[in-house]
Amino acid sequence: MIGLVHIAGAVLRIDLGAIVANYHIIRKQAAGAEVAGVVKANAYGLGAPEVAAALAQAGCRHFFVAQLSEAVSLRHALDASGALSNATLYVLNGLQPGAESVAAEIGVTPVLNSLDQVDRWSAEAAACGRALPAALQVDSGMSRLGLPPAEVETLASAPERLNGIDLRVIMSHLACADDATAKANKAQTEAFEVLASRFPGVPRSLDNSGGSFLPRGHFNIVRPGIALYGGAPQAGSPNPMHPVVTLEARIVQVRDVPAGVGVGYGLSSVAGYARRIATIAVGYADGWPRHLSNCGSVFIGGHRAPIAGRVSMDSITIDVTEVPPALLYPGASVELLGPHQTIDDVASDAGTISYEILTQLGQRYAREYIPVAEG
């Protein structure tokens, strides 16, 4: 039987060993804090079951998803292997009304973001007749999720509202951690310390990928996401992380286009000279940003080839005029992500961030996982 890798338009390779190596880089950087694995959005598009299993094998004991549905899927996927048997699975967005019994049944730890969520989880604990674990998020200045300072004071002054809740972590989230010079980082850190002090003795968590590299202490748990997957944790600084993904497409067709002849939808690419144009089998349906129309590039045998024309649903046309002809044939490999072009490079060209590039990667790729090397 022919494998998908031989018939797909492109191959996405995910290096689990590189993810584990990045985990250890962050452990060293945030010495004294435990390092969690943020595996929301299917581990940023790379496969939550595979990534979580590799991180668990490396010693990771805290995992974060955004939605309860993600937690249910991940728990089911990993229960058979026992990969998360000694780990805690947190749900960042907390629980929608009515979802408490499901969360309690599968043993996840919701991140409670409001007094209403606190009250509902306490009521579920009473109904279950046992204590239920939770994290509590406080708003230290991002104005997105978490109890604002007034509600923190309300809760701290009425501790009975936490009856039945085994409070495992007090956490918040940094808004500007990818910019080490941002004054908001210091302001949020100080605000978090004040808010967290209202719950003495409870472990604390504030830092995401960027925060893990700030030159200060890192509390008890750091929660890296993009850095695990090879993205730069600090904008404008050298990226210390190992690249995790490569994406290689195949040439479908090569043609000669005369001077003055347009290429692609809208005929938006026109040159005053004769060109050689190759078409590859990747498009915006595969998560390649349409914003890269006429501005992005790919690499063939190390030679840069700019995108010529609009990125369409299933294909991209590239100008291969300067690529040696011997490299241009149907089925030839084209690098979209790899040694010559990182996720941050592509994000910059597309006017977005590396998070979006990864999470948009489509389902038509043949996916190959490079296992963690033994020893």
Measured from the Cβ of residue 310, the count of other Cβ atoms closer than 10 Å reads: 20
Instruction: Render 41-71 in DSSP notation, one character per residue.
Output: HHHHTT-HHHHHHHHHHTT--EEEESSHHHH
Instruction: Report the distance separating Cα 324 and Cα 322, nearest Å.
Output: 6
E strand segments, the chain: 10-15, 34-35, 37-38, 62-65, 88-91, 109-112, 132-137, 165-171, 204-205, 221-222, 245-257, 275-280, 297-300, 303-306, 316-319, 333-337, 366-370
44 is known as an active-site residue: no
Tell me if residue 28 is catalytic.
Answer: no
Lookup: tokens for 11: 């191959």
b (16+ CB within 10 A) / e for 159-197: eeebebbebbbbbbbbbbbbbbebebbeebbebbeebbe
From the list 23, 44, 265, 365, the catalytic residue is 265
91 DSSP assignment: E
Q: Cα(134)–Cα(92) distance, rounded to whole angstroms?
A: 11
Matching residue, tokens 């109904």: 127
Of the residues 40, 44, 90, 355, which is catalytic? 40
**Residues 351, 59: Cα–Cα separation, whole Å:** 36
Closest CA to 293 of 358, 245, 252, 351: 351
Q: Which residues are annotated as a binding site for substrate?
A: 144, 313
What are the residue numbers of the active site? 40, 265
